[in-house]
């Protein structure tokens, strides 16, 4: 039996799965936590990977390894390959002003969408490089190479052989803001405009290509971003729309053509197979459930029971869950809001229901945006740590307006990375077929009134003070406030 390993280095944890290369059968797995915060020393990811590998029984018998990781994180290296400063993660919004500056300097949203398939927001790497140039010019001047979390971890697994060995794939490169999915080329002019100078970037590999091997001889796959790996792990194809409720919420679809949405709502990413992955991302997803559970002093099972005991619409209570700002819509400094409070709905059940519906309404807006870009919806797949919530499963089809298929609980990002590793071993134009059995379908009558009320309230929020370079990065609430925090699959 030939074994392959897949890694998911997410915002909250590192997960490792070891699977049979031919069938995809799970043989063993392990995990380890990551530190909280929106900036992290990449060394913490390497420690987490080492601990997760040990918990999974090691990699000595593994023939190939693939790494999937959170997208967009800014990892800057100096000429010696040392990390210049802690990495800014996708959910760090301090570069919101930099995003606005870059949009204006390069000709507006339409010009960006045409150039790289996306319009800069604080999540994307290019904006973090501009923030670095302006806020920490001495650090920016030391930058010799820029890479992403999965690039860096794959490079470290190879023994960090030199900056010229840095490699990435189409999927993760498409989330930087300086690589074009449509042309397959970097835009060094946009990178230099952001950073204030040139820097080395990883070589973009094909889907089944390898950048090398580990010192122990295991072949390394190209790796990819977490959303692309999740799509690969699900075996998603054209017509499949995945709704992932993890640390972030994502709605994405496999497509045969690149997207270029000048509104910036849909990010025109590439996928891990040579196709494309138009995607909408919200910053607030599973942790909305964590926060609601913490507010009510209950666990997630009880939160679901409460939500399902309340009527659709939560008695008129509407939660706009911008708990950490928001990316879609682009309101990086917004705060959450609760609307429609009355004596009759100030109950734990209505608050629980409003939390679930508010989370889902944001994702439903994302699904609408994909449809507007021409995406065909054949089926909707609900994945991520939040998909373990019974309330989310049962309420999702009513809010989204489609039957929802919930695949069996699995580490789909790590599984996709493992499938990519098997593909690198086998070669060929398509990845090996791994069967995905045991999915459950949920149906419910649509509740358009819930979305109408949400739409009337979603702009009625106030802003927090803008973060600056001296502000502490906000800690996540899940780990220390809820006994069983929801861990996500797609952290973009």
Q: How many CB atoms lie within 10 A of CB 98?
A: 22
Q: Collapsing DSSP states into helix, strand and coil, what is residue 391?
A: helix
- 226 in active site: yes
**Would the CA dihedral through 345, 347, 349, 350 be positive or negative?**
positive
Q: Which residues, 6+ apart, have CB-to-CB distance to 186 below 8 Å?
A: 173, 178, 179, 180, 201, 204
Alpha-carbon separation of residue 325 from 29, 212, 361 (angstroms): 34, 40, 16
3-state secondary structure of 32: strand
- Residue (of 146, 136, 260) closest to 192 by Cα position: 146
Report the alpha-carbon distance of residue 20 to residue 27 in Å, rounded. 7
Is there a contact between 15 and 30 (Cβ–Cβ < 8 Å)? yes
3-state secondary structure of 68: strand
Catalytic residue among 226, 271, 290, 415: 226
Contacts of 111 by beta carbon, 8 Å cutoff, 6+ apart: none
> Three-class SS of residue 244?
strand
Q: Which residues are catalytic?
A: 226
């Amino acid at each position: 039996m030939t074994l392959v390993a897949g890694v998911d280095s997410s915002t909250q944890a590192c997960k490792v799965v070891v699977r049979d290369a031919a069938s995809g059968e799970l043989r063993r797995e392990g995990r380890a936590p990551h530190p909280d915060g929106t900036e992290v020393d990449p060394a913490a990811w390497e420690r987490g990977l080492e601990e997760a590998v040990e918990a999974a029984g090691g990699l000595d018998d593994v023939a190939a390894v693939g790494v999937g990781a959170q997208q967009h994180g800014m990892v800057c290296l100096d000429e010696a390959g040392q990390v210049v400063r802690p990495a800014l993660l996708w959910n760090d919004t301090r570069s919101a002003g930099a995003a606005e500056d870059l949009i204006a300097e390069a000709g507006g949203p339409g010009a960006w969408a045409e150039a790289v398939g996306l319009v800069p927001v604080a999540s994307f790497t290019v904006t973090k490089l501009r923030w670095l140039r302006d806020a920490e010019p001495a650090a920016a001047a030391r930058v010799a190479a820029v890479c992403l979390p999965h690039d860096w971890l794959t490079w470290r697994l190879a023994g960090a052989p030199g900056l010229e060995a840095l490699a990435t794939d189409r999927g993760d490169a498409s989330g930087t803001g300086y690589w074009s999915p449509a042309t397959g080329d970097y835009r060094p002019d946009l990178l230099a405009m952001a950073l204030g100078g040139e820097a080395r970037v990883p070589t973009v590999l094909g889907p089944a290509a390898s950048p090398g091997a580990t010192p122990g001889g295991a072949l390394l796959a190209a790796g990819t971003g977490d959303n692309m790996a999740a799509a690969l792990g699900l075996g998603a194809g054209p017509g499949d729309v995945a709704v992932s409720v993890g640390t972030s919420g994502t709605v994405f679809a496999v497509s045969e053509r690149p997207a270029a949405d000048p509104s910036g709502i849909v990010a025109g990413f590439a996928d891990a197979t040579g196709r494309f992955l138009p995607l909408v991302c919200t910053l607030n997803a599973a942790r909305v459930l964590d926060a609601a559970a913490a507010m009510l002093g209950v666990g997630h099972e009880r939160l679901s029971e409460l939500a399902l005991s309340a009527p659709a619409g939560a008695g008129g209570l509407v939660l706009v869950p911008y708990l950490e700002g928001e990316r879609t819509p682009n309101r990086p400094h917004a705060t959450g809001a609760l609307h429609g409070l009355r004596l009759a709905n100030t109950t734990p059940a209505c608050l629980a229901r409003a939390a679930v519906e508010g989370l889902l309404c944001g994702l439903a807006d994302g699904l609408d945006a994909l449809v507007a870009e021409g995406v065909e919806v054949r089926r909707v797949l609900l994945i991520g740590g939040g998909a373990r919530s019974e309330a989310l499963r049962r309420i999702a089809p009513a809010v989204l307006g489609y039957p929802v298929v919930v695949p069996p609980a699995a580490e789909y990002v790590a599984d996709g990375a493992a499938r990519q590793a098997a593909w690198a071993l086998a070669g060929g134009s398509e990845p090996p077929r791994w069967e995905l059995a045991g999915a459950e379908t949920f149906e419910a009558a649509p509740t358009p009134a819930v979305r109408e009320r949400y739409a009337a309230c979603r702009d009625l929020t106030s802003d927090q003070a803008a973060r600056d370079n001296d502000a502490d990065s906000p800690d996540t609430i899940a780990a220390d406030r809820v006994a069983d925090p929801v861990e996500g699959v797609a952290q973009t």
